[in-house]
Amino acid sequence: DAKTTQPNSMESNEEEPVHLPCNHSTISGTDYIHWYRQLPSQGPEYVIHGLTSNVNNRMASLAIAEDRKSSTLILHRATLRDAAVYYCILRDSNNAGNMLTFGGGTRLMVKP
Amino acid sequence: GAVVSQHPSWVICKSGTSVKIECRSLDFQATTMFWYRQFPKQSLMLMATSNEGSKATYEQGVEKDKFLINHASLTLSTLTVTSAHPEDSSFYICSAGLAGGSGELFFGEGSRLTVL
């Protein structure tokens, strides 16, 4: 799987938007961009994923660069419960397996 | 939505004993499940792929005789840590997903093992 690069940590103020960047310069045409987050002492949970177009769901928005070499997860209004490690992961749609390869992720800290 | 559940959520055992962790897909069938291990302040590391009805596939460096995986049904995979030692203390997480490479995966709540 192609590698992703994320900042180790970021800080945000409560109720402000948060933009979490991810670089994936070696992405292939069949790679989906997935975001998961892990709250303290819990298993990861799915946030959002996309291929080429920007995506929105109830949790977040995903902005994908035109060349697909980077993407940004957007939390529109951060809450204290959004404090977690956010993982940006590429998954090859041709891969019949469902495993994910986790990188270091970005630890998001939200200040009240 | 689909749910994956693990049990127990935490366990403390003495060195040398064996511990079994269960992973269940509650509302879907999973021919493949994945076991991860996570040490404090580190990311998740894939240990093995559990295949229903066949042998598990282990990642390099993971001892198959120490971490026994059984996937006897489409909704249950078990990980047994045999002869556990303090260095096996970790957060063990399973995951499963619906067929296809583009969809989301579902993770269990994790099982924290402490070996004394």
Return all residues near B63 (Cβ < 8 A) that are at least 6 apart.
none
**pLDDT over 90, % of chain A:** 82
Inter-chain residue contact A102 with B95, CB threshold 8 Å: no
Which of B7, B105, B111 is most worth mutating to test chain A (most A CB atoms within 10 A of its CB)? B105
Q: How many CA atoms lie within 13 A of B114 on its CB side?
A: 6
Residue B46: which of A32, A94, A101 has the nearest Cβ? A101
Residue B107: which of A34, A44, A92 has the nearest Cβ? A44
CA-CA distance, B4 to B28, in Å (whole number)?
9
| Contact residues on chain B for A94, CB-CB shorter than 8 A | 101
Task: Please give, rounded to a whole number of angstroms, the shortest distance from the CA of B47 to a CA of chain A.
Answer: 11
User: Higher confidence at residue A85 or residue B1?
Assistant: A85
Burial tier of A20 (Cβ tally within 10 Å: 0-12, 13-18, 19+): buried
pLDDT value, residue B100:
56
Chain A residue closest to B108 (CA)? A43
pLDDT value, residue A101:
85
Return all residues near A82 (Cβ < 8 A) that are at least 6 apart.
A12, A18, A37, A75, A108, A110
Whether the CB-CB separation of B27 and B74 falls below 8 Å is answered with no
CA-CA distance, B95 to B33, in Å (whole number)?
6
Return all residues near B87 (Cβ < 8 A) that are at least 6 apart.
B115
pLDDT value, residue A1:
57
pLDDT value, residue B83:
97
Over the stretch A33-80, which tens digit does the pLDDT of each residue have? 999 999 999 999 999 999 999 999 999 999 999 999 999 999 999 999
Residue A92: which of B91, B101, B110 has the nearest Cβ? B101
User: Two tokens at B2?
Assistant: 């689909």
CA-CA distance, B35 to B113, in Å (whole number)?
14
Backbone φ, ψ for residue A27 (5° rounding): -60, 140
Q: How far is CA A93 from CA A22, A51, B47, B96, in A?
A: 19, 10, 22, 16
Series of mean pLDDT values for 10-residue runs along chain B (116 residues): 89 97 91 93 94 91 95 93 97 84 82 97
CA-CA distance, A39 to A4, in Å (whole number)?
20
pLDDT value, residue B66:
96
pLDDT value, residue A2:
65
Q: How far is CA A44 from CA B4, B44, B68, in A?
A: 11, 9, 23
